[in-house]
Chains A and B, each alone.
Chain A
Amino acid sequence: MKYLYAAYAATWLIHVGYLGNLYLRYKRLQQEITDLRKK
């Protein structure tokens, strides 16, 4: 069973990691938009 859970956990870790990366990119972009508006 440990291999089964490891595989399922790894799958979701990869997806959550990618979604986290997208969120960070979104935040950085939002910051850039705020800076542009200040100018």
Chain B
Amino acid sequence: MKRAFPIFAIVTAGLLTFALYEALVVAPTEQTMGDVQRIFYYHVPSAWTAFLLFFINFGASLVYLIKRNTKADILALVSAEVGVVFCTVVLVTGPIWARPVWGIWWTWDMRLTLTLVLWLIYVSYLVLRRFSSGSQTPLIAAVLAIFGALDVPLVYFSIWYFRTQHPSPVIGRGGELDPRMAHVLLINWLAFSCFAFLVCWSRYRLEQVKRDVDETQALEALLETRSVR
């Protein structure tokens, strides 16, 4: 396992560099938007990765609720944290793309508002985990995560069922994306997914060690109290 991490890190770095090259050089220039459309290769894979991480958070929270498994609790925390980072990327790159294309940074339409709500739900989840120290915190957080996950399909399908400023789906129902663009999009998604996995891996190990240290400190404090008595 100790060797696997640096090897995977090198592979991910190579993949991210290749994906960047594909996005900036290989992908064809879109006719109406021009080069600014290349933001798509970072914006969309970041959104998909965030959804994937929130889905993992949902599954891990469900497992925690059923089995009270500590590993599931750590996985839920880690996936939510990294998911929020990717969702932040979506909320930052979206307006940077919207400004030259729509002429505005932001509009309160269904897709954008629901994405902001999704981000706020998971930020509140992390705030709860950070500042609440009771033994019931993982349980309350797991319930919140399950409610939060309900927003993910709403965000995803909002452009199918509502008239929004946001572009229609480019892949799947009604999507007609140039195959060369789809290829670059999928490479970028693979690269960002590997990067997310790598970050989750480090964060998971960090959380495991943190919990061990907290436990040792609590035990030490207890022993000190007893020796004073």
The answer to whether A binds B is yes
- With both beta carbons as reference points, the residue of chain A lying nearest to B85 in the complex is identified as A18
A32:B213 contact, CB within 8 angstroms: yes
Among A3, A19, A32, A33, point to the contact of B199 (Cβ < 8 A): A19
Question: Could you say which residues of chain B place their CB within 8 Å of the CB of A18?
Answer: 82, 85, 199
Given the contacts A4-B35, A11-B46, A19-B199, A29 and B220 also touching, CB distance less than 8 Å: no
| Shortest distance between the CB of A23 and any CB in chain B (Å) | 9
Q: Is the CB of B210 within 8 A of A7?
A: no
Complex CA distance for A33 and B216, rounded to whole angstroms: 10
Q: Using A4-B39, A32-B217 as known contacts, say yes or no to A10 and B96 having CB atoms under 8 A apart.
A: yes
Q: Nearest CB to that of B209 among chain A residues?
A: A29
Do B96 and A29 have beta carbons less than 8 Å apart? no
Across the interface, name the chain B residue whose C-beta is closest to A19. B199
User: A7–B97 contact, CB under 8 A?
Assistant: yes
Interface 1/0 per residue, A1-39 and B, CB below 8 Å: 101101110110011001100100110010011001001
Please indicate the chain B residues that have their CB under 8 angstroms from the CB of A8 in the complex.
Answer: 20, 39, 42
Q: List 22 A-B contacts (CB under 8 A).
A: A1-B35, A3-B39, A3-B99, A3-B100, A4-B38, A7-B96, A7-B97, A8-B39, A8-B42, A10-B93, A11-B46, A11-B93, A14-B88, A18-B82, A18-B199, A19-B199, A22-B202, A25-B206, A26-B206, A29-B206, A29-B210, A33-B213
Can you add 6 more A-B contacts, CB < 8 Å, to A7-B39, A10-B92, A25-B206? A8-B42, A10-B89, A18-B199, A26-B206, A29-B210, A33-B213
